[in-house]
Homo-oligomer: A and B are copies of this chain.
Amino acid sequence: MQQLLRVQNFFVSADGYGAGEGQSLERPFGHADPTVLGEWAFATASWPGRRDGGGTRGLDDRLVGDFHHGIGAEIMGRNKFAPHRGPWTDGDGLDWRGWWGDDPPFRTPVLVLTHHPRPAFTLSDTTFHFADLAPAQALERARELADGKDVRLGGGASTVREFLDADLVDTLHVAVNPAVTLGGGSRLWTSPAELDHRYHRDVVPSPSGVVHHLLWRR
Number of interface residues of A (CB under 8 A): 26
CB of A158 to closest CB in B, whole Å: 24
State the A residues within 8 Å of B (CB). Answer: 2, 45, 53, 56-59, 61-63, 65-66, 69, 170-171, 173, 200-204, 206-207, 212, 214, 216
User: How many copies of the shown chain assemble into the complex?
Assistant: 2
Majority-rule SS of A interface residues = mixed
CB of A200 to closest CB in B, whole Å: 7
- When distances are taken between beta carbons in the complex, the residues of chain B under 8 Å from A58 are 200-202, 214, 216
A214/B69 contact (C-beta < 8 A), A202-B206, A202-B207 known: no
A57/B206 contact (C-beta < 8 A), A62-B62, A69-B69 known: no
- When distances are taken between beta carbons in the complex, the residues of chain B under 8 Å from A203 are 207
A214 (CB) vs chain B CBs: closest residue: B58
A59/B214 contact (C-beta < 8 A), A2-B53, A65-B69 known: yes
